[in-house]
Amino acid sequence: MASESVILVTGGSGLVGEAVKWVIENETGERFGKRENEKWIFLSSKDGDLRKEADVKAIFEKYKPTHVVHLAAMVGGLFKNMKYKLDFLRENMMMNENILWQSKEFNVKKVVSCLSTCIFPDKTTYPIDETMVHDGPPHDSNFGYAYGKRMIDVYNHAYNEQFGCHFTSVIPTNVFGPHDNYELEGSHVLPGLTHKCYLAKKNNTPFVVWGSGKPLRQFIYSRDLAKLFIWTLREYEEIDPIILSVGEKDEVSIKDVADGIVKAMDFQGEYAFDSTKADGQYKKTANNAKLMKYIPDFEFTPFDVAIKESVEWFEQNYDTLRK
């Protein structure tokens, strides 16, 4: 990227957006750190409602981006997805439509959008890889979000074939880290259990994990994902998506996650499972071979270290964080 690059990050105030900001501001190395010719702009919904075409057009007129990292979305855990399937579909479709159309209109050189491994078919062989995105219906618990996200890949190919646009996407597994959303109902499992364990310790009440604790997940630390986003923006040339995930061997159970939080919070109290609550998808084991072929030496933060750092950030920012 020779001339000055203006990189617009939508969803810059969220879990992943704040991690990209942290890496750009703190990483010193050439590989992931900020470069001379780069100007990074991190948006929040205060800069404009991306569901509204006029707001998006105004943002593009103001910043005239050369590159876009499109993170903004309606996001939530299993229980929020089960409750608001249509909102997830409509809101994300509107944001994606507006961002990609204005990116074409303003001749943006590259857009990197964000999918999720929950979009893959539910009835499939494992491990899942990038070629399987459209091979059948997603899990019923999140089909609204999943189909909305799949359409990004369809858009990217259509924009490329009709207008030669260079719009691509990445597919992260479950993400966690500082600046997460800690709502007790709507959040993802790791921030949700972090908040519940904190309250159980504070109020001397039982720490209750929903479901059986048996489902399996791969978790990527937001700051590792942020580095991979920066690499994708700078180096990844394909239109096809790429999975950004730890390896299959790092898959853990929901019980392992809860154990890790109990340890990081030094919780000594009663710890139980509420099997009346849904387990959701049993697993969505993703294959990261494509990523490892591109960056064989990439080092992921060990899970227990990343949980410890995330719990410390949570405790230090409890008064101001989203909950």
Q: Which residue, among 85, 37, 79, 308, has the nearest Cα to 185 in the 3D structure?
A: 79
**With 0-12 CB in 10 A as exposed, 13-18 as middle and 19+ as buried, what is 137?**
exposed
Among 218, 280, 288, 303, contact with ligand GFB (rule: CB under 6 A): 280
CB of 205 to ligand NAP, least distance (A): 27
CB of 172 to ligand NAP, least distance (A): 4
Residues in the chain: 323
- Please say whether the beta carbons of 145 and 88 come within 8 A: yes
> Is residue 145 annotated as part of the catalytic site, yes or no?
yes
Longest dimension (CA), the chain: 61
Residue linked to tokens 């858009």: 155
Q: Does 306 bind ligand GFB (CB under 6 A)?
A: no
Hey, how many other C-beta atoms are within 10 angstroms of the C-beta on 319?
A: 6
Decide which of ligand GFB, ligand NAP, none touches 68; Cβ closer than 5 to 8 Å per partner kind.
Answer: none
Decide which of ligand NAP, ligand GFB, none touches 51; Cβ closer than 5 to 8 Å per partner kind.
Answer: ligand NAP
Q: Does 78 bind ligand GFB (CB under 6 A)?
A: yes
Query: Smaller CB distance to ligand GFB: residue 48 or 77?
Result: 77
Q: What are the respective helix, strand and coil percentages of the chain, to the nearest 5?
A: 45, 15, 40
Query: How far apart are the C-alpha atoms of 90 and 85, rounded to whole Å?
Result: 9
Which amino acid makes up residue 304? D
Beta pairing partners, 272: 208
Q: What are phi and psi of 242, to 5 degrees?
A: -135, 135
Catalytic residue selected from 84, 145, 159, 198 = 145
Query: Smaller CB distance to ligand GFB: residue 252 or 295?
Result: 252
Q: Does 260 bind ligand GFB (CB under 6 A)?
A: no
CB of 250 to ligand GFB, least distance (A): 15
Among 7, 112, 118, 265, contact with ligand GFB (rule: CB under 6 A): 118
Decide which of ligand GFB, ligand NAP, none touches 169; Cβ closer than 5 to 8 Å per partner kind.
Answer: none
Q: Does 210 bind ligand GFB (CB under 6 A)?
A: yes
Question: How large is the angle between the packed helices 53-63 and 85-105, nearest 10 degrees?
Answer: 40
Judged by CB under 6 A, which stretch of 173-181, 201-209, 247-255, 300-308 contacts ligand NAP? 173-181
Judged by CB under 6 A, which stretch of 68-76, 99-107, 159-167, 267-275 contacts ligand NAP? 68-76
Structure tokens belonging to residue 275: 């099997």
Which secondary-structure segment (H or E) carries 112? strand 110-114
What end-to-end distance do the CA atoms of the chain give, in Å?
Answer: 39
Decide which of ligand NAP, ligand GFB, none touches 150; Cβ closer than 5 to 8 Å per partner kind.
Answer: none
Question: How large is the angle between the packed helices 85-105 and 143-163, nearest 10 degrees?
Answer: 20
Judged by CB under 6 A, which stretch of 78-86, 125-133, 233-241, 314-322 contacts ligand GFB? 78-86
Among 81, 218, 232, 285, contact with ligand GFB (rule: CB under 6 A): 81
Among 98, 116, 168, 285, contact with ligand NAP (rule: CB under 6 A): 116
Beta pairing partners, 114: 170
Residues of this chain that interact with ligand GFB (CB under 6 A) are: 77-79, 81, 116, 118, 141-142, 145, 174, 187-189, 192-193, 196, 209-211, 215, 217, 254, 277-281
Residues of this chain that interact with ligand NAP (CB under 6 A) are: 11-17, 44-46, 49-51, 71-75, 114, 116, 172, 174-175, 181, 188
Residues annotated catalytic, as ranges? 145
